[in-house]
Chains A and B, each alone.
Chain A
Amino acid sequence: MELITNHLLSLILFTPTVAALVMLLLPKDKTTLLRNFALVASLIPFVLTLVVWAGFDPQPSPGVPFQFVEKAEWYSAIRSSYHLGVDGISLPMVLLTTLLTPLAILASYSIEERVKSYMILFLLLETGMLGVFLALDLLLFFVFWEVGLVPMYFLIAQWGSKNRNYAALKFVLYTMGGSLGLLLAIQLMGVAVGSFDLLELYQRWPGLNELSIPIGLPVATVKAIAFWAFVVAFAIKVPVWPFHTWLPDAHTEAPTAGSMILAGVLLKLGAYGFLRLVLPLFPAESQQYAGALALLGVAAIIFGALGAWAQNDFKRLIAYSSINHMGFVVLGIAAAAALLNTSSPVALLDKNIALNGAVLQMFNHGLSAAGMFFLVGVLYERTHTRDLNDFGGLFAVVPVYGGVLIFTAMASLGLPGLNGFISEFLVVRGAWPVMTLATALSMIGLFFTGAYILKALKMVLHGPLNARWLGHLTDMTRREMMVIAPLMILMLILGVWPAWLLDVINRAVAFLF
């Protein structure tokens, strides 16, 4: 028992991998068994996450910045260790991941071909994502960062739709392109400080003014280069405008569950990188370039919304909406970056609120984007088209689907009473005093968020019924309701009573920044 309670995070992290290995031994034609096995296996980390949540003390202290910490020797030669832990920023992300993975697997029950390899890849993907959120060692962070990439590449390239090869390649090359700089910067920092341990780096790297390795460049320049290497890697992942064009392709071509995870979790890795690494490790540089980051965030908000509005492919429209919503995360982070060194209580509050909003927005977008992609998939499985012009008037044929779609779309639109509003409001509130112009401009994007959501609803549900679907369309099945219902319930709960989550985030953010 002690073994379990002392290694909860490792269990969460590696249960999916172990399950994937076990699945290798299962017969590949027993699809029901494979699916159920994968689902049950992915529920274990979720339950364990709830256990962690229950035992988690929201209030961090200087002695215990991270909880459930595990540390073991790994590459002692280069002083990199297996170091895991959670705080109020990573724990919500872990919860999001372990929640969305079972739902995505349940959504994948309609996958018929090569179920075994599909499920194995999915489980491996979960380990990769969780590792990023749990790692407290830079090298470990990078390993998991890359590990997540591979299964996703195959998921898109093998189970995707028509243009999948292009999309998968674009996704993987783009992300790896970003990772190159990240790896170099990580190595540089590790060598300079003599450790890859994040806690140690937090202590020593920001104040470092002499490098132990002879590069021949001033420290400030080296730091700036490392900063930009981090920023570009994470900006591609978020994605921040103009590094975003891999996203519509990858999300559109990926299988439904792949898109759910891509939008729901993978994008959060980038934003998490900003919060976990960029802001604490490069406070001076972050502050210096906060304005530029805010501008890019606002560009993502505006051009993401405009881009979404321009689409006639339902899935592509939702894909663009991710750019739009993640822009608010970036705006919140940028506003906080500008205030990193502040000591005035008013500005501290602004920073705190902006970061609360950013982290909450990450979680909220995970719910609503996963939900929207799932709903697109539900429709696609029945109609085999994603062209909005092919639909019309479906509300009359599939009323339950229609209601669910309107609900989820409204959460995505940021309707007050549902989750998205709270986080967007907090970001706007936090960013307004610091980035007044950027915040004001972001309202253009917020307006067009309405435009594209309503466009989708209009073309799918409303208007005269396209006679093609009369009698060919069935409403949502019980399994599909089981996928979407937890998301809907959470969206509602978070919209009405966000304090349970926000309190955890708030304390962590107040402590860290």
Chain B
Amino acid sequence: MAVETLIVLIPLLPLLAFFAIVLFAHRNNALSHWLALIAAGVAWMLSMIVFRRAVQTEELSRFPFAAAIEWLPTGSAALKIGVQIDPLSAVTLFFVAWTVLMIFIYSIGYHNFGQPKGEHDRPGLPPHGAEIRDGHGHVHRVPSIEPMYARFFALISLFAFAMFLLVITDNLLTLYIGWEIMGLCSYLLIGFWYAKESARNAMIKAFLTTRVGDVFMLLGLAALYSLTGTLNYQVILNNPAVLNGLASAASPLAGVSWAGLIGILLIIGTIGKSAQFPLHIWLPDAMEGPTPVSAMIHAATMVSAGVYLVIRFFPLLSAGWDGHHLTLPMLVMGAVGAFTALFAATIALAQNDIKRVLAYSTISQLGYMIAGLGVGAYVAAAFHLVTHAFFKALLFLGSGSVIHGMEHGVFHTGENIDPQNMLYMGGLRKKMPLTFWTFLAGGLALSGFPLITAGFWSKDEILSGAYASGQTAIFWMLAAAALLTAFYTMRQITLTFLGQPRSHSAEHAHESRPVMTIPLVILAFFAITAGWVGIPEYFPAVGGLLPNWFEEFVGSMLVSHGETAHFSLLPLGVSVVVALGGLWMGWLTYRGVVRPVDPLEKPLGGIYTLLRNKYYVDEFYQWAFIRPARWLAETLTDRWLDRTIIDGALHSIAGFGVWLGKSLRRWIDLPVINGAGDLTAAGTRNLGAFLRSLQSGRVQIYATVGLGLAAMVAILIYFLWVIG
């Protein structure tokens, strides 16, 4: 088959699975997950075939696999959409296909396939567990199967469709379509357990916060389409003439070129989708969704799509960049990314929910990539995108496994604790060894543990890029963020797996089923090795042992390379020191925790409270935006404008009409017309009486009347004939 056909099939299969499950298999759990798995599996296989071919193809960035059709008739032409695989989409496809498939498999175990139905389980709520009686007559409480099992697989299939669509497409419009459908899936899956009040608030928050970014992005689309007449990547981004034109044309915003304005509009889309400050608030709340959703949508794929967008449009964002002075969009990315990286990392320090720590870490790491892009480290940002997807999916799935283990303990003991709170965990490494070792691999990769983990190589490259660009502020912010990352990661590992159990549930936790742990092992493999394809040649000792394939492959995407990073020992030293130092300090601080209290809570005091409450950003938004918006809607628009002013005016007009009618009746109808009518009647009667009196038979009177009449007629004739 032609490679383009294979590419088209990749998103199509999960879409078919979605429709098949919704229409025919929604009552059959096994069939529904098989449909989803087969679709994801074949899509994975096709992705690997496409990836292999892409890697083997020479000059793929100039001549990508592509095919297009006419989609929207516009005037005498049509807007085309199609598929395209170039180096950037090939590597994205690679990690998306792997993480999606792993998460699909994991979900079977996570949603307790094969377990009994719970007696009190309801659609819309997480399963409460079921009671079973064993051979000896003992009653056990065990996890029960998810009541909306089939729906879950339908929705994640739809999601997989949208993500694949976004990756394989050749233009911004289809990217936006995939982007928004993912947003819908994210909304529906965050609110998968919709009967929970917290879930239903989180789903709306996620949708609307990202929508803020999306509407700006839509304007960016409109502007780009208006100016270039197309939304195709190759035509815009691989075309220095178009890029230079956009970079030199002035936009309506003073001092900003069209490239700058469109770039900023697109970046705002990314800020929403990739949960960057100030639109980061939705991602932590999105943890309300089932953990596979957090792993797939809110760590590995959808939030990565935001970064993918800016990487994809880097030629536009950097149009006019001479290698020294950053363009406005780059500056924005550098500032937003670096700030978010540091800001989110500080919040992660004070979170006790195992998933929330990871959520803030995701925000922080995405900020890393965006900052990297801002300083022009294009390949490094793409590289970190790939490695992060693997290790963060791994960490989330690991945390899901931990939560599952803890829930098992909670079922067993009947304890009333939050199974996601790390303070009640501890010592799980013995109970859940596979989960522990894989989580450790992911955690070390996230911390950038030198040499052996993937995260080290990609993070190190961003740091050296930032250093080489001369943006020292960004460099040091990223370095500080890396330090905190290592610290909170070690805090998480220590609190969860090391030391002694701090609750009975933790004592009774046990390892998850192989259907959950095998994906962990596979992802752990990538969390370690994915970095080895991008070891820079100049790296001391190990550089050059393996070819720097990633740099060569993805770097070919840029028509003109930016300044290649000069090797410097400082960023390397910093990156090693912060990683090891952070890990070490984290271990020192949390190794001796016996009671469920954070040892930093007291010493940090007010700062801890501030971090714990996420700098009160949510509260501020509530006050600064949400309440005024409600006032605008409920009071200004509905009560004042519509009901009072406009309807008021209408009612006064109507009232005036009624008043006019009544007045006419009162002052004209009654006295004049009715009066006239009455008068007529009376007058006729009177006239009759009068006339009767005339017909008295007396000739004199007849003569008088006759003369009078004749005189009147004569006068009339005179006036009509003579004067008229």
Contacts and interface: CB of A to CB of B under 8 A. Distances in A.
B56 interface: no
Interface stretch (A42-50, A112-120, A432-440): A432-440
Contacts of B188: 406
B650 A450 contact: no
B577 interface: no
A463 B218 contact: no
Q: How large is the interface on A (under 10, 10 to 19, 20 to 34, 35 or more residues)?
A: 35 or more
Contacts of A506: 73-75
A74 to B, nearest CB: 34
A175 to B, nearest CB: 13
B319 to A, nearest CB: 20
A443 B197 CA distance: 29
Contacts of A245: 642, 646-647, 650
Contacts of B123: 395-396, 399
A307 B642 contact: yes
B181 A416 contact: yes
A510 interface: yes
Interface stretch (A1-9, A18-26, A325-333, A497-505): A497-505
A472 to B, nearest CB: 17
Nearest to B191: A462
A462 B633 contact: no
Given A450-B208, A506-B74, A465 B195 contact: yes
Q: Which of A349, A429, A432, A451 has the most CB of B within 10 A?
A: A429
Nearest to A437: B252
Interface in A313-332: none
Given A416-B176, A454-B204, A463 B72 contact: no
Given A422-B72, A463-B197, A510-B76, A310 B177 contact: no
B200 A458 contact: yes
B218 A425 contact: yes
Contact of B75 (A174, A352, A443, A464): A352
B34 interface: no
A206 interface: no
Contacts of B173: 425
Contacts of A352: 74-75
A426 B226 CA distance: 11
Tell me the interface secondary structure of chain A in the complex: helix
B124 interface: yes
Contacts of B31: none
Nearest to A414: B180
A175 B219 CA distance: 35
Interface string B54-79: 00000000000000001111111010
Contact of B203 (A170, A350, A462): A462
Interface in A386-434: 393, 395-396, 399, 403, 406, 410, 415-417, 421-422, 425-426, 428-429, 432-433
A303 interface: yes
B634 A310 contact: yes
A87 B654 CA distance: 40
Contacts of B637: 303, 306-307, 310
A450 B124 CA distance: 22
Contacts of A439: 219, 222
Contact of A432 (B22, B124, B176, B222): B222
Interface residues of B, number: 58
A506 B75 CA distance: 6
A494 B498 CA distance: 56
B226 A350 contact: yes
B629 to A, nearest CB: 8
A300 to B, nearest CB: 12
Nearest to B148: A399
A499 B70 contact: yes
Interface stretch (B91-99, B209-217, B350-358): B209-217
A443 B633 contact: no
A170 B197 CA distance: 40
A176 to B, nearest CB: 12
B167 to A, nearest CB: 16
B195 A393 contact: yes
Interface in B15-34: 22
Contacts of A510: 75-76
A353 interface: yes
A415 B180 contact: yes
Contacts of A440: 219
Given A396-B195, A499-B73, A447 B215 contact: yes
A453 to B, nearest CB: 9
A156 to B, nearest CB: 17
A439 B221 CA distance: 12
B74 A353 contact: yes
Contact of A429 (B211, B212, B222): B222
Nearest to B125: A396
A222 interface: no
A415 B184 contact: yes
Given A451-B208, A461-B194, A503 B181 contact: no
Nearest to A309: B633
Given A432-B223, A454-B204, A502-B73, A410 B184 contact: yes
A194 B176 CA distance: 53
Nearest to A170: B650
Contacts of B76: 510
B122 A396 contact: yes
A364 B650 CA distance: 31
A458 B122 CA distance: 18
B632 interface: yes
Interface in B165-207: 173, 176-177, 179-181, 184, 187-188, 191, 194-195, 197, 199-200, 203-204, 207
A458 B191 CA distance: 10
Contact of B215 (A248, A417, A443, A502): A443
A396 B75 CA distance: 47
Interface in B103-133: 122-124
A436 B218 contact: no
A39 to B, nearest CB: 26
Nearest to A509: B75
Nearest to B657: A173
B168 to A, nearest CB: 16
B707 interface: no
Given A443-B216, A447-B215, A451-B208, A306 B222 contact: no
A385 interface: no
A121 B211 CA distance: 43
Interface string A484-509: 00000000000000110011001100
A399 B26 CA distance: 11
Contacts of A422: 72
Interface string A236-261: 00000010110010000000000000
Given A425-B218, A432-B219, A443-B216, A454 B207 contact: yes
B641 interface: yes
Q: Which of B70, B124, B221, B647 has the most CB of A within 10 A?
A: B124
A248 B642 CA distance: 10
A423 to B, nearest CB: 10
Nearest to B231: A429
Nearest to A465: B195
A461 B173 CA distance: 31
A61 B215 CA distance: 39
A462 to B, nearest CB: 4
Nearest to B197: A463
Contacts of A170: 650
Interface string B618-629: 000000000001
14 contacts: A244-B646, A306-B638, A310-B633, A311-B638, A415-B180, A416-B181, A417-B177, A433-B226, A439-B219, A443-B218, A454-B203, A454-B208, A462-B200, A502-B73
Closest 10 CB pairs of A and B: A416-B177, A310-B638, A462-B194, A443-B215, A462-B200, A310-B633, A432-B222, A306-B637, A306-B633, A310-B634
Given A426-B74, A448-B633, 15 more contacts: A306-B637, A309-B633, A417-B181, A425-B218, A426-B72, A432-B222, A432-B223, A443-B219, A448-B629, A451-B629, A454-B187, A462-B195, A464-B197, A499-B71, A506-B73
